[in-house]
Amino acid sequence: MMKKKDYYNILGVSKTSSEEEIKKAYRKLAIRYHPDKNPGNKIAEEKFKEAAEAYEVLSSPEKRNLYDQFGNEGLGGINDSQRDSGYSHEGDIFGDFFGSAFSSFSFTEGRSFKGSDLRIRMKLSLEEISRGVEKKVKVKRMKKAKGVRFKTCIHCNGNGKISNIKNTVIGKFKRMITCKTCNGSGKMVDNIPPGADRQGMIHEEELVTITIPPGVTEGIHLKLSGKGNEGYHFEGAPGDLIVIIEEIPHEIFKRDGVNIHYNLYITIPEAILGTDKEVPSLNEKVRISIEGGTDSGKIISIKGKGIRNIETHHYGDLLVHIKVWTPKNLNKELKQIFEKIKHDENFKPKPYDRVKD
Cβ count near 108 (within 10 Å): 10
Cβ count near 150 (within 10 Å): 18
Q: CA 6, 7, 11: angle at the middle one, nearest 5?
A: 120
Residue range 294-313: average pLDDT? 94
Q: What was the pLDDT predicted at 198?
A: 81
Query: At 327, phi and psi to the nearest 5?
Result: -70, 145
Q: What was the pLDDT predicted at 265?
A: 97
Tell me the pLDDT of the chain averaged across its residues: 83
30: left (phi > 0), else alpha (psi -120 to 50), else beta? alpha
Q: What was the pLDDT predicted at 290?
A: 96
Q: What was the pLDDT predicted at 211?
A: 95
CA neighbor of 183 nearest in space, from 201, 210, 205: 201
Residue range 199-223: average pLDDT? 92
**Half-sphere exposure of residue 135: CA atoms within 13 angstroms, side-chain side:** 21
Q: Are 107 and 229 in contact (CB under 8 A)?
A: no
Say whether 158 sits in a helix, a strand or coil.
Answer: coil
Q: What was the pLDDT predicted at 147?
A: 86
Cβ count near 207 (within 10 Å): 8
Cβ count near 144 (within 10 Å): 22
CA neighbor of 319 nearest in space, from 288, 355, 356, 284: 288
| In the predicted structure, residue 165 carries a pLDDT above the cut 80 | no
| In the predicted structure, residue 258 carries a pLDDT above the cut 90 | yes
Q: What was the pLDDT predicted at 82?
A: 41
pLDDT band at 125 (very low <50, low <70, confident <90, very high): very high
| In the predicted structure, residue 1 carries a pLDDT above the cut 90 | no
pTM to 2 decimal places: 0.59
**Half-sphere exposure of residue 339: CA atoms within 13 angstroms, side-chain side:** 7
Q: What was the pLDDT predicted at 65?
A: 83
Q: CA 103, 106, 107: angle at the middle one, nearest 5?
A: 140
pLDDT band at 209 (very low <50, low <70, confident <90, very high): very high
How many whole angstroms separate alpha carbon 58 and alpha carbon 24?
A: 12
Residue range 48-65: average pLDDT? 88
Say whether 248 sits in a helix, a strand or coil.
Answer: coil
Domains defined for the chain, CATH in brackets = 113-146+198-249 (2.60.260.20), 253-356 (2.60.260.20)
pLDDT band at 90 (very low <50, low <70, confident <90, very high): very low
How many whole angstroms separate alpha carbon 85 and alpha carbon 67?
A: 17
Higher-confidence residue of 100 and 36: namely 36
pLDDT band at 45 (very low <50, low <70, confident <90, very high): confident
pLDDT band at 167 (very low <50, low <70, confident <90, very high): low
